[in-house]
A and B are shown apart, each in its own frame.
Chain A
Amino acid sequence: MTPRRSFNVLVLDDESAIRDSISYFLEDFGIKVHSAENIGKARRILETFPIEVAIVDLRLIGSSGEDFILSSLETHPSVKYIIHTGLNDYQLHEFLAVHPNVSNTIFQKPLQEMDELYLEVLRLADVDRSSEE
Chain B
Amino acid sequence: MDCMSKKALLSACIALLWIFSPCLLAAQEKTTVRIACFEKVRVIEFNPDGVQGFAVDILKRIAEEEDWTLEWKKVTFPVSMELLAEGKVDLVVPLGYTAERDDTFDFSEQALLTTWGRVFTREKSDIISLLDLRDKRVGYVRNSLFYPVMYNLIQQFGIECEFISVPSYDSLFSAVSRGQLDAGLADRLQAYSIPGNLKISENQIVFYPFDLLVAGAEGDPGGFLAAFDRIISEQKKNTGSYYYRSQKKWFGQLDAGGLPRWVSIAGILILVGGILIVLWTLSLRRQVAARTSEIEHLRNLMANIINSMPSILIGVDRDSRVIQWNQQAEQFTGIKADLAEGRKLQDLLPDYAQELRKLDETIRTRTPFSHHKRIRREANSVRYEDVTIYPLVANGVDGAVIRIDDVTDKTRLEEMMIQSEKMVSVGGLAAGMAHEINNPLAGIIQNAVVVKNRLTTDIEANRKAANQVGTDLDAIHGFVAERNIDEMLHNVIESGKRASRIVQNMLSFARKSSFQKSEVDIRELLDRTVELAKSDYNLKKEYDFRNIRIEKEYQPGVPSVICEITKVQQVLLNILRNGAESMCDREFRERRGRDFTPQLTLRVLDAGEMVQIEIEDNGPGIPADEQSHIFEPFYTTKEVGKGTGLGLSVSYFIITEDHGGSMEVASEEGQGTCFTVRLPISGGDQ
Q: A110 and B497: CB pair below 8 A?
A: yes
Contact B431 A28 (CB under 8 A): no
Nearest CB in chain B: distance from A84 CB, A: 9
Known: A28-B462, A110-B500, A112-B500. A86 touches B442 (CB 8 A): yes
A128 at the interface (CB under 8 A from B): no
Question: Mask for A1-32, Cβ within 8 A of B = 1, else 0?
Answer: 11000000000000101101110110111100
Pick the residue among B436, B441, B461 that contacts A110 (CB under 8 A). B441
B439 and A15: CB pair below 8 A?
A: yes
Q: Is A108 an interface residue (CB 8 A)?
A: yes
Cβ B442 vs Cβ A18 within 8 A: yes
A114 with B461: CB separation less than 8 A: no
Give the distance to chain B from A112, nearest Cβ to Cβ, in Å.
6
Within 8 A of A (CB), among B446-467: 446-447, 449-450, 453-454, 459-462
Interface hits, B316-360 → A, CB 8 Å: none
A30 CA / B459 CA spacing, docked (Å): 10
Residues 637-653 of B at the A interface (beta carbon under 8 Å): none
- Alpha-carbon separation in the docked complex, A70 to B180 (Å): 135
The complex places the Cα of A24 from the Cα of B436 at a distance, in Å, of 23
- A25 with B459: CB separation less than 8 A: no
Q: Are B446 and A110 in contact (CB under 8 A)?
A: yes
A110 touching B438, Cβ below 8 Å: yes
Q: Quick check: is B507 within 8 A (CB to CB) of the other chain? A: yes
Partner of B460, one of A2, A21, A112: A2
Chain A residues whose CB sits within 8 angstroms of the CB of B453 once the complex forms: 25, 28
How far does the alpha carbon of A91 sit from the alpha carbon of B459 in the complex, in Å?
38
Cβ-neighbour of A21 out of B431, B436, B442, B511 (below 8 A):
B442
The residue on B at minimum CB distance from A87 is: B435
Q: Is there an interface contact between A114 and B449, defined as CB atoms closer than 8 Å? A: yes
Chain B contacts for A89, CB-based, 8 A: 431, 507, 510-511
For the complex, is A131 an interface residue (Cβ under 8 Å from B)? no
Q: Are the C-beta atoms of A109 and B438 separated by less than 8 Å?
A: yes
* Complex Cα–Cα for A27 and B460 (A): 11
Within 8 Å of chain A (Cβ to Cβ): is B444? Answer: yes
Proximity string of chain A (105-117) to chain B, C-beta cutoff 8 Å, 1 when within and 0 when not: 0001111101000
Q: Are B444 and A110 closer than 8 Å at their CB atoms?
A: yes
Does any Cβ of B come within 8 Å of A48's Cβ? Answer: no
Q: Which residues of A contact B439 (CB under 8 A)?
A: 15, 18, 86, 109
How many residues of chain B have a CB within 8 Å of chain A? 30
Q: Chain B residues near A20 (CB, 8 Å)?
A: 447
Interface check B434, CB cutoff 8 A: yes
User: Considering residues A30, A59, A86, which has the most beta carbons from chain B within 10 angstroms of its beta carbon?
Assistant: A86
CB neighbours of A27 from chain B (8 A): 461
Give the docked Cα–Cα distance between A114 and B448 (Å): 11
Select A28's contact among B461, B504, B510, beta carbons within 8 Å. Answer: B461
Main secondary structure of the interface of B (DSSP, over half): helix
**B252 contacts the other chain (CB 8 A):** no
Asked if B445 is an interface residue, CB under 8 A from chain A, the answer is: yes
How near does chain B come to A27, taking the closest CB pair, in angstroms? 7
Contacts of A114 in B (CB 8 A): 446, 449-450
Residue B443 at the chain A interface, CB threshold 8 Å: yes
When the two chains form their complex, are residues A21 and B443 in contact, meaning their CB atoms are under 8 A apart? yes
Q: Which residues of A contact B445 (CB under 8 A)?
A: 110-111
Question: Which B residues, 129 to 155, have Cβ-Cβ distances below 8 Å to chain A?
Answer: none
Query: Which among B431, B440, B444, B449 is the interface contact of A88 at CB below 8 angstroms?
Result: B431
Instruction: Name the residue on B nearest A21 (C-beta).
Output: B446
Distance, CA A19 to CA B198, complexed state (A):
141
Chain A residue contacts of B500, Cβ below 8 A: 110, 112
Provide the A49-84 mask, 1 if CB < 8 A to any CB of B, else 0: 000000000010000000000000000000000000
Residue contact B447 to A88, C-beta cutoff 8 Å: no
How distant is A58 from chain B, measured CB to nearest CB, in Å? 10
Q: How far, in Å, is A9 (CB) from chain B's closest CB? A: 15
Task: Give A36 Cβ to nearest chain B Cβ, in Å.
Answer: 17
* Cross-chain contact A86 with B446 (CB below 8 angstroms): no
In Å, the complex CA distance between A27 and B453 comes to 12
Closest to A108 in B: B438
Look across to chain A and name the residue whose beta carbon is closest to the beta carbon of B462: A28
Q: In the complex, which residues of chain A have a beta carbon less than 8 angstroms from the beta carbon of B94?
A: none
- Is the beta-carbon distance between A30 and B443 smaller than 8 angstroms? no
Residue among B449, B453, B496, B511 with max Cβ neighbours from chain A (10 Å):
B449
Q: Tell me which residues across on chain B come within 8 A of A86, comparing CB atoms.
A: 434-436, 438-439, 442
For the complex, give the distance between the alpha carbons of A1 and B457 in Å.
Answer: 11
Provide the B491-503 mask, 1 if CB < 8 A to any CB of A, else 0.
Answer: 0000011001001
Q: A18-B446, A110-B441, A111-B442 are in contact. List 4 more A-B contacts (CB 8 A).
A: A21-B442, A25-B449, A88-B434, A89-B510
Interface pairs (11), CB distance under 8 Å: A17-B446, A21-B442, A21-B443, A28-B462, A86-B435, A86-B442, A88-B511, A110-B441, A110-B442, A110-B496, A110-B497
B interface residues with partner A (beta carbon < 8 Å): 431, 434-436, 438-447, 449-450, 453-454, 459-462, 496-497, 500, 503-504, 507, 510-511
Closest 4 CB pairs of A and B: A17-B443, A21-B446, A109-B442, A86-B438
